Amino acid sequence: MQIQENISLKPYNTFGIDVITKYFVSVSSINELKAVLNLKGYPEKLILGGGSNMLLTKDLEALVIHVNIKGIEIVSIDRDYVTVKANAGENWHEFVLWCLDKGFGGIENLALIPGNVGSAPIQNIGAYGVELKDVFVSCEALSIQTNAIESFSKADCDFGYRDSIFKQQSKGKYVITSVTLKLSNNNHKLNIKYGAIASQLDFMKITQPNIVDVSKAVIAIRSSKLPNPKDIGNSGSFFKNPVIPKAQYDDLLNSFNDMPHYPISNDEVKIPAGWLIEKAGFKGKRFGDYGVHKNQALVLVNYGDAKGKDILRLSILIQKTVKRLFDISIDAEVNIL
């Protein structure tokens, strides 16, 4: 464990934004993490995982702590279910593939989501009708204040849509070190009704899909819509899908009769933010080295050497335009630093 100075964070964020942090250290154990958090004399300490849910807009005076704690273990297993614990530094997609290789189901719809395991509970990651909370048992997190490991149950995490206690009242107070999930080991319940999964399976000529088939369908869909961060810098979906009153949606139908929606309750509906952004004219629009992806309006991209502040300005322009056209507010899903 060595603290480095004046390090570029370009390799550590999926947007590929080149900013400099004054201090940088990578930790591979809880003891190393505790030791670094106890260090004095640094103006600020910033926790960094997979770097998939952040937009860096300036150089940092901070000590950036890269959490690289690895390891996956089977905690318990019986005929029907398995409990699996993964440490925070594991790549999420590789963890999904590890589970599928073992025949464990429940997170196949979450394949190819960028980032590390430790970030998953913060966002309550989700895709194609499945969210982390559906299989979540608990997570362990190091308290920055007390330097003690605490356990958080599903109820403790207060999960919401791309939300959790770690983004609200406990933001900045903990570092997640591991996540424990309960997955199916038999009689897998597939979720293939959401989005284009069913049609993709038809295209693949699969009539009786298994969990691997579903993951392959999800990977194919995501690959066709979302750019690979290794090729084009991005952070996946930049905006959350807004939830609005059904009465407002009914009024909007008078002007936009093709507006899609997903019922949340009797009184609320979710509107795809990508549809709103596309209708506002931003899909595929490029501004020099940055812009909106041609296949998915939810994704803002860095084509080369864009600055984080440029992408931030674009996101604000999109938000203002959508608000003016539809009277709907769309919130950023990424953390902006």
Catalytic residues: 162, 237, 333
330 within 8 A of 273, measured Cβ to Cβ = yes
Tokens at 269, concatenated: 């509906």
74: helix, coil or strand? strand
CA within 13 Å, CB half, 101: 6
How would DSSP label each residue in 143-203? ETTT--EEEEEHHHHT-BTTB-GGGTTTTTTEEEEEEEEEEESSS------STTHHHHHHH
Which residues sit opposite 84 in a β-bridge?
74, 181
Rounded to 5 degrees, φ, ψ at 85 are -115, 125
- The answer to whether residues 325 and 44 touch, using CB atoms and an 8 Å cutoff, is no
Give the separation between CA 311 and CA 287, rounded to whole angstroms: 10
Decide: 336 and 55 in contact? Cβ < 8 Å: yes
Is the C-alpha dihedral spanning 258, 261, 266, 267 positive or negative?
negative
Per the document, the length of the chain is: 337
- Pair 300, 227: CB distance under 8 Å: no
Q: Where does the chain have alpha helices with state H? A: 30-37, 92-102, 120-123, 154-157, 197-203, 211-225, 246-252, 273-279, 308-326
302-317: b (≥16 Cβ within 10 Å) or e: bbeebbbebbbebbee
Question: Rounded to whole angstroms, how far apart are CA atoms 334 and 119?
Answer: 12
